Amino acid sequence: MVRWAQLFNSDGHDRRHQLQDEMRQLLPTRREHRPPPPIPAKEVTKIALRLKHQIEQVIPCELEEAQITKPHSPILTDAVLNTAREAGGEDHKACVVYCLLVVKKWFKRQAIAELWDADLHEVRAAAAEMMAKRIIEAEEDMDYLLGDVLLKRYSILVNGEPTVPTNVIERAVDLHALTVIGSSGYQKCISYLWRGWLVQDDDDPSRFVGYENKSNTNYWAHVDPDRMRVPMYQNAVQIAMSVIYLSLYTGAINTINPSGDLDLVEGLLYIFTLGFVCDEISKFWKVGRYYIGFWNVFNSTLYALLTISFVLRMIALGHGLGSEKRGHFNQESYNFLAFTAPMFWLRLLLYLDTFRFFGAMLVVLKVMMRESLIFFALLFVVMVGFLQAFVGLDLADARLESSAFVIKAMLNAVMQSPEFDGFDQFERPFGLVLYYIFTFVVMVILLNILIALYNSAYEDITENAIDEYMALFSQKTMQFVRAPDENVFIAPFNLIELFLLVLPFEWWLPKDKYERLNDIVMSVIYSPLLAITAFMETRQAHRVSLNRRRGEDDDDVVHEWEQVLHECDFEADGWDKKVQQTKPNVEFDTAVLEVRKLQAEMNTLKELLLELKDKGSWGTDTLKSSAADDKMAESSEAAGDEE
């Protein structure tokens, strides 16, 4: 079965602060049987404290965030970055980027704890993230960057206990660090993980190793059921199963069986549903309540409605053919089935988030739903208050008669379709006045607040649409990589694993033979997909081999503007010299460059004046010495005349 990690320790007090960051994890990291981190947690914590002290000294007061984040920042200079790299020394320099993300988390918490300095701490958090990005992009050794800086897992000390080891890729996703996620090295690592060019070592899950057959052009070398762990292939299977699931539902809802019997399409629909339900229960059982999110609740609601439909169908089959009760329960079953149609189509969006258009829109919807919680909280308080007032008016004569009418009218007002007709006779004039006030508060004040929140959320997301999409894609990739299945049986194939492998064989069959049996079953199940993926990987292997012969990166692609570039020599024809002479200096503002130019001219003028001064003093001394000699000669002549 799928082995999931424990997300939290039994001691809730020690892990309280860590929950705030790891609640965002869709899947937890695997902890059991994990070797210790390569650097002791105490040393990593000390390095993080050094970096925190450095940032506090570099940014001693509140600054504009633009001064920190612009490309040639006067604050985060090359000297500052070089000092940050030296925080871990030669032995522990690989964990500096990880420590910078830890420092970002600390400053974020400090901004919440110290509201009077919140802006200062937010700027420092942005500085820590920007430093991490620039260190990543400045690293030229790609093997060292991917293997040691980004994918090696580290821990820090919290209340004297080391935290769950995580790497930079996971930490950036948990913190939603868009600046780091948008760096070139980070995205290259995500691309390699998504394609399966970097895989977890079977013997040491904390290590990531390169796919050994990446450049192997032999077709059969890529026909391997273990390649189903690749996130790209798992996502493709999930999309295919979702499309098939939707097709089965469409066929079931459009082929009504008045007799109440189950046909093949409906049977497959409920079998698929059982597989998805088992998958959700397994994840919730092993992860805990922090697995619950918007899409989990959405899917669980869909599966619950389908389960009710199935139960009603079974009840209908328990009655005689042609009986009234059988027809009634059969009709109710189809009513529940038809009610789920919008949810079936919306569910498809969950698996289309890897496409840029759908991914960006899903991020916008997610933020809008989070912002709307403010509106619904205010709406709940307002509705309860006015409902109590209406109920009190209705009970004035000791009888509760109009509660259904009042609730319906209030809900219509929320949906911007108020009904005033019935309130003119409802406890005049109080009922009508109260309803006017309620309609004004809901339609004019609260709904406009909701529109403003939605507009703000949309603007914030669309301004960073590319970064938000890359963050969503990174989270999607880590969903598969962070806690991968040992044997990938995607729902509804998990029913095969559960009933045909786990229950009859896992408890007594030796581990090596059980793994061999799983490989055989997976090869049969995924044989059509493995044939396609092997063909795709063979083509990729030819491209990788060509790139290596050219001395380029494995994922390099020759674009149309590069096809004739090798025939150009800009230095030989003098074009590069002309460009260098006319290119502007974008590192500094024009005013700064002019001041520096004036300063250089002033220094030159100062040197000339000093030279003139030196020459002038030498001429004065010479004249003075000549005059003294003449005076002495005249005195000698006068003395001779007297004698």
Would you state the pLDDT for residue 25? 43
pLDDT at position 580: 87
Same domain for 346 and 362? no
- The Cα-based distances of 278 to 275, 295, 340, 505, 526 in angstroms read 5, 16, 19, 19, 20
Q: Which domain holds residue 401?
A: 358-453
For residue 265, being part of any structural domain is answered with yes
In this structure, which amino acid lies at residue 362?
L
Do 341 and 367 lie in one domain? The reply is no
Residue 549 forms part of a structural domain: no
- Specify whether 23 is located in the same domain as 126: yes
Q: For residues 175 and 114, is the Cβ–Cβ distance under 8 A? A: no
Query: How far apart are the C-alpha atoms of 282 and 287, rounded to whole Å?
Result: 8
Residue 572 lies in a domain: no
- Side chain identity, residue 355: F
Which residues fall within 8 angstroms of residue 446, CB to CB, at 6 or more apart? 375, 378, 379, 382
pLDDT at position 34, please? 55
Query: Which is nearest to 201 in space by CA: 2, 31, 34?
Result: 34
Q: Look at residue 590 in the predicted model and tell me its pLDDT.
A: 74
For residue 26, the model assigns a pLDDT of 41
Q: Judge whether 250 lies within some domain.
A: no
Q: Say what the pTM is.
A: 0.79
Angle between helices 356-394 and 430-440 (to 10 degrees): 160
Residue 561 falls within a domain, yes or no? Answer: no
SS3 282: helix
- Cβ of 298: how many Cβ atoms within 10 Å? 15
Residues 156 and 195 in one domain: yes
For CA atoms 511, 512, 515, 520, give the dihedral sign.
negative
The verdict on residue 579 lying in a domain is no
- DSSP letter, residue 217: -
Q: Does one domain contain both 156 and 37? A: yes
Spell out, as residue ranges, where the chain has pLDDT lower than 50: 1-33, 618, 623, 638-643
Contacts 24+ apart (CB under 8 A), 534-541: 534/219, 534/220, 534/222, 534/223, 535/219, 537/213, 537/222, 537/227, 538/217, 538/218, 538/219, 538/222, 540/195, 540/214, 541/213, 541/214, 541/215, 541/216, 541/217, 541/222
Residues 429 and 302 in one domain: no
**Confidence at residue 5, expressed as pLDDT on a 0 to 100 scale:** 37
Q: Are 316 and 378 within one domain?
A: no
DSSP for residue 154: B
Q: Are residues 333 and 396 in the same domain?
A: no
Question: Measuring CA to CA, which residue among 282, 284, 281, 288 is closest to residue 8?
Answer: 288
Give residue 627's pLDDT. Answer: 54
- Cα(157)–Cα(456) distance, integer angstroms: 38
- Residue 600: what are its φ and ψ, rounded to 5°? -65, -40
pLDDT of 21 reads 43
Beta bridge partners of 200: 208
| Backbone phi, psi, residue 559, to 5° | -85, 170
302, 333, 351 — which closes off a domain?
351
Q: How many CB atoms lie within 10 A of CB 271?
A: 12
Number of structural domains found in the chain:
3
**Per-residue pLDDT at 3:** 35
pLDDT score of 318: 85
Residue 532, CB-side half-sphere exposure with 13 Å CA sphere: 8
What is the reported pLDDT for 481? 82
3-state secondary structure 548-564: HHHCCCCCCCCCHHHCC
**Same structural domain for residues 29 and 172?**
yes
* Residue 227 falls inside a structural domain: no
Residue 289 lies in a domain: yes
Residue whose C-alpha is closest to residue 72's, from 628, 593, 490: 593
